[in-house]
Chain A
Amino acid sequence: MTAILDGSAGALAALGRPVLAVLAAVGRVAIFAATALGHLLRPPFYLREFGQAVLQIGWFSLPVVGLTAIFTGGALALQIYAGGSRFDAQAVVPQIVAIGMARELGPVLGGLMVAARVASSIAAEIGTMKVTEQIDALVTLSTNPFKYLVVPRLLAATLTVPVLVATGDAIGIMGGWLVGITRLDFNSATYLENTVQFLQAWDIGSGLVKGAVFGFLVALMGCYHGMTSGRGAQGVGAATKGAVVAASVLILAANYVLTELFFQA
């Protein structure tokens, strides 16, 4: 009897340990996010660092987001056409490409591409600063690392990713249009008219809200993993990998939650 109880306790402990570890990690991230948000509204504000972060996160991500969007829009048009032809619904290609890009693929793929590009670079940069004592140097120079490193990146990502998403939406819809008129024999004017008439403001708005949330998550994961990076090249490498994985998973999870909230049946 004692052996059975001991065995059960051991199994419960084995189950409980990872659960506790996950909860502790969630708690650490939540405290980190709360600290960053607390600094967001209190001076000093580092406008130069914010401007650089906008360039790094927003402007330099445009090519990768644009390329992802145009190929996705084109492929989506082909798939919808092929699927729609099974029940004689090929004509819905413009509408489905538009709604698919604006509500889902624009924000999610844009977010994931930014996660791959930006979360990794933020984590590597801040992690390297940590292991080379640059963050300690910031403190000795009377500069709060949260205000100087974290807040500008969080703010820049939250504000620029929606712009990237809007640009990606437009490019993705254009990709669908290009494939539609060149490969699927759609009339150009009809395709565009169907797209414009079908799309509603909230289709685009919901994607932009998702973009803002995804941008915040990407920067948060990059900054958190960078600031908590271990020592040496291995520590920075692990921080970089952790940032990309965590940001990607959080984007997909947040996307489901937001979709439930915005479009529940």
Chain B
Amino acid sequence: MIALTDVTKAFGENRVLQGVNLSIARGESMVIIGGSGTGKSVLLKCVLGLVTPDSGQITLEGEDVSRAERDAFLARFGMLFQGAALFDSLRVWENVAFRLLRGRLKRPREAAREIAIEKLRRVGLGPQVADLYPAELSGGMQKRVGLARAIAAEPEVIFFDEPTTGLDPIMSGVINDLIREIVTEMGATAMTITHDMTSVRAIADRVAMLHGGLVRWTGTVQEMDATPDPYVQQFIHGRAEGPIPSVR
């Protein structure tokens, strides 16, 4: 469904992506792992068009994303940002229903509010949260609201950028389980970037490891545990010793 071919991106002298090749099948949950600063977020933003690659091609069902009509293209995506990226000036339900209150999916405010409350319920939040502002929520609740916003318009593809960063282990487990359930239930294609191995095991159908600006390894979670690749083994076991320098 999503294919990246020889994608490169540099910021000045820093060549973040140096020819990334990756494909994700429809309905598959792909998790991209890699150390901090290896370009995972940049890769995700390239697919969404938030960052323009220097070269290479990214296609969504065979169509070059750089030539796609932006609104129609973005309407197929949902995204959970690392810090949730909720709009401070809007109430929780207005955040969740943002896409339903404007643009081509616009509907009456009451109908949009009902959908928002339903999506909040889906991520384990009660209707009493709907009229609060994001600043009144805990980090875990903000992540759940971000997740509700990502699924509000029932997208075909959902991106998760470091979904458990900053959360305690229990809340991380809750978010991981929610992501897995929602992706399976909606039949959506998912692309998650994380370095939390618990998330990887809970969410992934397949795993890709990004290192040195390239996809170094891909496979299932079982294959990941069994692979002799020293980079993958060092990363998944969190060893300081190995081919990946600990000081970068």
Contacts and interface: CB of A to CB of B under 8 A. Distances in A.
Contacts of A140: 48, 50, 74, 77-79
Given A139-B74, A142-B74, A133 B102 contact: no
Interface string A29-46: 000000000000000101
A132 interface: yes
A25 interface: no
A137 B89 CA distance: 14
A128 B86 CA distance: 12
B35 interface: no
Interface residues on A, range: 10 to 19
Contact of A142 (B45, B50, B70, B81): B70
A171 B99 CA distance: 44
Given A141-B98, A142-B71, A142-B75, A136 B103 contact: no
Interface string B44-87: 01001110000000000000000000110011011101110111
B232 to A, nearest CB: 29
Interface in A122-152: 128-129, 132-134, 136-137, 139-143
Q: Which of A46, A129, A140 has the most CB of B within 10 A?
A: A140
B14 to A, nearest CB: 15
A83 to B, nearest CB: 49
Nearest to A134: B85
Given A44-B102, A142-B99, A143-B103, A137 B75 contact: no
Interface string B97-108: 011001110000
Contacts of B88: 128-129, 134
A133 B103 contact: no
Contacts, number: 50
Interface residues of B, number: 25
A132 B103 contact: no
Q: Which of A52, A128, A129, A142 has the most CB of B within 10 A?
A: A142
B137 to A, nearest CB: 14
A233 to B, nearest CB: 14
B50 A134 contact: no
Contacts of A129: 87-88
Contact of A141 (B45, B82, B89, B99): B99
B163 to A, nearest CB: 14
A142 to B, nearest CB: 5
Contact of B50 (A44, A46, A132, A139): A139
B83 A132 contact: yes
B85 A137 contact: yes
B83 A136 contact: no
A44 B71 CA distance: 12
Given A141-B98, A142-B74, A142-B99, A136 B50 contact: yes
A133 B75 contact: no
Interface in A212-262: none
Nearest to A135: B85
A132 B102 contact: no
Contact of A134 (B70, B87, B102, B103): B87
Contacts of A133: 81-83, 85
Nearest to A147: B102
Interface in A61-87: none
Contacts of B70: 142
A37 B151 CA distance: 34
A143 B88 CA distance: 16
A44 B104 CA distance: 10
B152 to A, nearest CB: 9
A46 to B, nearest CB: 7
A46 B71 CA distance: 17
Nearest to B78: A140
B75 A132 contact: no
B47 to A, nearest CB: 11
A86 B71 CA distance: 70
A131 B50 CA distance: 14
User: What 6 pairs between A and B have smallest CB-CB spacing?
Assistant: A137-B85, A133-B85, A142-B74, A140-B79, A133-B81, A142-B71
Interface of A: 44, 46, 52, 128-129, 132-134, 136-137, 139-143
8 contacts: A44-B102, A46-B102, A133-B81, A137-B85, A141-B149, A142-B74, A143-B98, A143-B103
Given A142-B74, A143-B103, 8 more contacts: A134-B86, A136-B50, A136-B85, A137-B85, A140-B50, A140-B77, A142-B71, A143-B102
Interface of B: 45, 48-50, 70-71, 74-75, 77-79, 81-83, 85-89, 98-99, 102-104, 149
